[in-house]
Amino acid sequence: MNALIPRILGRLLAGCAGLALAASAAAQGVEKLKVRLDWTPWGVHAAMHLAQQKGWFSAAGLDVQMEDGNGSVTTVQIVGAGDQFDVGHAALASMMIARDKGLPVKAVAVFARLSDVGLLVPQGAGIKGPKDLKGRKVAYTAGSLEAPFIDAFLAAGGLKKGDIDLINVDAAGKAATYAAGRADAAFSTIPFFLPVVSQTRPSDAIRFADYNLNMPSFGLFASEAKLASRREAIARFASVVAGAWQYVYNGHEDEAVDAIVAQRPQAKLDKKVLRGQVDALRGFFQLPATAGQPLGAPVAADWAVAVKTLGDAGLLKSIKDGNDFYVPGLVRPAALTAVVAK
């Protein structure tokens, strides 16, 4: 019965929340919001493109402009250091590292609560965990987020780097290297690469998060300056995106894929790969959401774990309190429900 309470309350609030959103938009006019993405279009952007396609941002009084990125680290730096963008979408571990170094950025919403980083392995290869990598050729990218955690991952299987043939591959060529069989396994971003490489080399994934190496993954963040000046617009955006993800994973995955393709017709996207990415991401969302909290709301315990994970790897040196990395209360249940109730 307790599990039904949020749903019942949400339905009761949906009508008035929808009216409130409409009234706010009418009173304030449409607000422009510029968003910098982590990468070129892929499955992790499904909810944002769907919300754009269905007019949910407009209903919330927002004119959202999304711009492709070229990596989470770059997106964090650009959003945090300048006035060009209001919100960023990226792997939030990169945001944590940047904040620890002094960049004034904080998370607003977390969608993929488990780390997206891990190991890709061919199906049937007999690689079930780190101990099975002994003597294998494994691709990775030096300077990537996966690199600092390889030692700890291997140690969980009683191995050291010298026990494997670790080859450094440029990020742009890693998927091709692995898919062509020039490596026995590859460290990478699982939900992005798994559907891509599985087309030519059917593969499974081993998550770092399952070996006590967890940290929040994809979500929304903003600079402290933008959070001060545009807090309500950012909250509406975060709530709409959270509601759109809830809608996607309520059986509307193909609709979300169609929205990405429709929004980015020049990108020549493969719907099968996009659907594979959306499906792969679901396992990193840890659904259903934590009791009493809407999907997307930062969970304090996750950030405490992330501080330990990143700190043990030497990536955090100054900030010890996980609560310092995010702003609570900007993903609002009533506004979220108003979106998916339409």
Which CATH number do you get for residue 316?
3.40.190.10
Whether residues 7 and 102 share a domain: the answer is yes
Q: b/e for 43-71, b at 16 or more Cβ within 10 A?
A: bbbbbbbbbbbbebbebbbbebebeebeb
Q: If pLDDT is split at 50, 70 and 90, which confidence band does 171 have?
A: confident
Q: Is the pTM of this model over 0.85?
A: yes
Look at residue 341 in the predicted model and tell me its pLDDT: 60
Look at residue 337 in the predicted model and tell me its pLDDT: 63
pLDDT exceeds 60 at position 23: no
φ, ψ of residue 55 to 5 degrees: the values are 80, 15
Check if the beta carbon of residue 327 is closer than 8 Å to that of residue 232: no
Mean pLDDT of 259-288: 95
Structural domains of the chain, count = 2
Q: If pLDDT is split at 50, 70 and 90, which confidence band does 9 have?
A: very low
Nearest Cα neighbor of 190 from 274, 269, 119 is: 119
Mean pLDDT of 49-66: 96
Look at residue 336 in the predicted model and tell me its pLDDT: 60
Report percent pLDDT > 90 for the chain: 85
What are the tokens at 316?
């955090």
Residue type (1 letter), 330:
L
Whether residues 222 and 293 share a domain: the answer is yes
Whether residues 73 and 124 share a domain: the answer is no
CA distances from 311 to 141, 267, 269, 282, 316 (A): 21, 38, 38, 27, 5
Q: Residue 152: which domain range?
A: 117-211
Whether residues 186 and 223 share a domain: the answer is no
Look at residue 291 in the predicted model and tell me its pLDDT: 82
DSSP 63: E
Whether residues 6 and 107 share a domain: the answer is yes
Whether residues 109 and 130 share a domain: the answer is no
Which burial class, exposed, middle or buried, applies to 302 when counting CB atoms under 10 A from its CB (0-12, 13-18, 19+)?
buried
Check if the beta carbon of residue 326 is closer than 8 Å to that of residue 296: no
CA distances from 32 to 41, 59, 299 (A): 21, 13, 29
Whether residues 102 and 223 share a domain: the answer is yes
Q: If pLDDT is split at 50, 70 and 90, which confidence band does 89 have?
A: very high
Of the three residues 181, 211, 241, the one that is the final residue of a domain is 211
Of the three residues 211, 246, 269, the one that is the final residue of a domain is 211
Whether residues 13 and 25 share a domain: the answer is yes
Whether residues 236 and 183 share a domain: the answer is no
Whether residues 93 and 223 share a domain: the answer is yes
Q: In terms of DSSP H, where are the helices of 135-252?
A: 150-155, 171-179, 190-197, 224-229, 231-248
pLDDT exceeds 90 at position 338: no
Average pLDDT, the chain: 90
Residue type (1 letter), 263:
Q
Whether residues 95 and 222 share a domain: the answer is yes
Of the three residues 211, 234, 264, the one that is the final residue of a domain is 211
Whether residues 88 and 225 share a domain: the answer is yes
